[in-house]
Structure 1
Amino acid sequence: MRLLLSTSNIMSGGPSVMRRLGSDKSNVELLNALRSNFVAAQQIEPTHTNGASHDTHSPPQRLSYNDYTTWTSKVGDTLYVPAIDPATPGLAEDRSQYDITVKLFYLPGVPASRRCKHTLEAIELVLKELKISFIDLLIVSFPGISFDADDDDAGEETSNAETESDLESIIQTWRTLEEIYKKGMVAQLGIAEFDSERLAKFLPHTKIRPSVDQINVKDCCVVPKPLILFAKQENIELLTHNDCTDILPKGTTRDLLAKGEKGAGILAATADAEDGGLKGEIETQWVVKYTAVVKDRGVIENKGYFALAEVGSCVRQSS
């Protein structure tokens, strides 16, 4: 069975200036927002919410429910957690008033062969949620890739340089992104954690080049000069972030969804536990984050996450 997790709009307490959101790591924000949305779907008042229905700083402590079918919905082999309200209004103003950025996390342990389907599914969910026809920027994050400013600045080879097969899987994934771009679903494409050496290897294989390279600069270090020069030469904008690559590990996912004091009561406590929850191994497939910023005010009006997980005996065999 597939589990489609959603946070809804975590800015529902009111839009916030962008700089106020920089302190939250994406994995913490995602987990807390999911818990808050599960509680909201049950119409249970979260504890310590400071008056906001989706307060990601003070997550609810009690999430166990007797019957998850009352607040989820099942369509085919997919369980929506919680059920998605089709009456969600989407954006408040005209589409032209927003910059909409989507970041798609391909997760560790998931075969690259699934990425075409995953990419389309994630983008279509965001388009439907915001009731729009395209997004301004799609950034993709590949598993096992991290940016090391010291290595790039020193001119050394990338510490975790890809093998030929790793690079080939990235190139094949990019082909899917280029097709999405050609369909008009995305206005710009971007990548994450590419240093100058990785970019130099990757760019010759692209037809639609990335316009953005988003990097995690640890401890507010200065972006290395070789990358700055190379990005300028290739007309690539450098952005920074504090996202976690492995944003939703399967152990965290089980804790979030399992029967227990802080779980949602959907999964069994362990893969084989006889506690009434869904049995089987759990594997998170992808996570997508979307952000809609009102251009003239510089505030985030709509922000949220979707995540897809698979549970069942077939998960381990297909990995």
Structure 2
Amino acid sequence: MNSYELALQVRDCIQKTLTEWSSKIGQDINQETLEVLECSVAQAIEKINPEERDELKVSAKLFIVGSNSPSIRDAVDLACSALGVAQLDSVIIAPPPIEDGTNLSLAYLQPYWQELENLVQNKKIVAIGTSDLDKTLLEQLYLWAQVKPSSNQVNLASCCVMPPDLTAFAKQRDIQLLTHNDPKELLCEASFQEVLQDSIQNVKASEWIPLWLLRYSVIVKSRGIIKSKGYIMQAKRNAS
């Protein structure tokens, strides 16, 4: 699946969930005072049986849409609650795109990484990883961080072969290099508002801002197959 198809898949998932949820709720929504929507379809997420937990790996990739590092805790807490687990085995973070076009820097990453480190220390996450860091930035993060990155995702659409310097550094520091084909923005504000407008009657879509999108996978360790996967997201109402 290419990056365009992935973005369409996300839109489709959000639209189906919102449409089904709003059809059940009907008009019992006060649009003027509402600040948080808890939109879920009960049968869409299968909670993990505690007896099977040791046999499963629960991993997630977190796409930050709004520049708000504390959102990371909300995302992890909601994912754990939805899946019925105490902690996630791994979380990879994709920081929000930088609007002015400047390069990603360690200073920009630090608040997000610190939130992840807190969650590791509080035993909500076992291992944390990064996405799309070159060798220089990965090394800077590794040397600064208290909890070291265990993995780094590389987008093969932008580089067909793993850069040799990145490969050498990752091997030296025991960092797993993974590949992905996610777009830089899996869900943008305009796309979310368009889906919201189409899904819920009379909603003031322009007032709602997406904060984050989390994609999770539940993998059977012994067989390496995906048992379940899905998306969880959060948005806030920003009425003036």
Scaled by the length of structure 1, the TM-score of the pair is 0.65
Q: Which of 238, 256, 272 does residue 177 from structure 2 map onto? A: 238
Q: Unpaired runs of 5+ in structure 2? A: none
Matched, 1:132 2:82: no
Question: Which residue of structure 1 aligns with residue 199 of structure 2?
Answer: 264
Identity of aligned residues (%): 24
Question: Which residue of structure 1 aligns with residue 228 of structure 2?
Answer: 302
Tell me how large the CA RMSD over aligned residues is.
Answer: 3.0
Matched, 1:35 2:23: no
Matched, 1:144 2:97: yes
Change (3 A) 1:243 1:208: same
Alignment of 1:22-101 (within 5 A): 22=1, 25-41=5-21, 68-69=26-27, 77-81=35-39, 83-85=40-42, 89-92=46-49, 94-101=52-59
Question: Which residue of structure 2 aligns with residue 57 of structure 1?
Answer: none
Change (3 A) 1:202 1:87: closer
Displacement of 1:221:
1.3
- Aligned to 1:78, the other structure's residue is in SS state coil
Displacement of 1:245:
2.6
Q: Which is richer in helix?
A: 2
Matched, 1:211 2:169: no
CA contact (8 A) 1:190 1:213 kept: yes
Equivalent residues, number: 234
Measured against aligned partners, the alpha-carbon deviations of 1:124-179 in whole angstroms (never above 9, x if no partner) come to 1110111011111110011237xxxxxxxxxxxxx9534xxx52231122111111
Q: Unpaired runs of 5+ in structure 1? A: 1-21, 43-64, 146-158, 267-275, 315-319
Question: Which residue of structure 1 aligns with residue 61 of structure 2?
Answer: 103
Matched, 1:120 2:46: no
The structure number with the bigger radius of gyration is: 1
CA distance in 1, matches of 2:61, 2:80: 13
Displacement of 1:87:
11
Measured against aligned partners, the alpha-carbon deviations of 1:17-49 in whole angstroms (never above 9, x if no partner) come to xxxxx557432221112223345547xxxxxxx
Change (3 A) 1:104 1:66: closer
Change (3 A) 1:255 1:66: farther
CA contact (8 A) 1:67 1:265 kept: no
Measured against aligned partners, the alpha-carbon deviations of 1:268-317 in whole angstroms (never above 9, x if no partner) come to xxxxxxxx333643321111111101122322122111122223334xxx
- Aligned to 2:190, the other structure's residue is in SS state helix
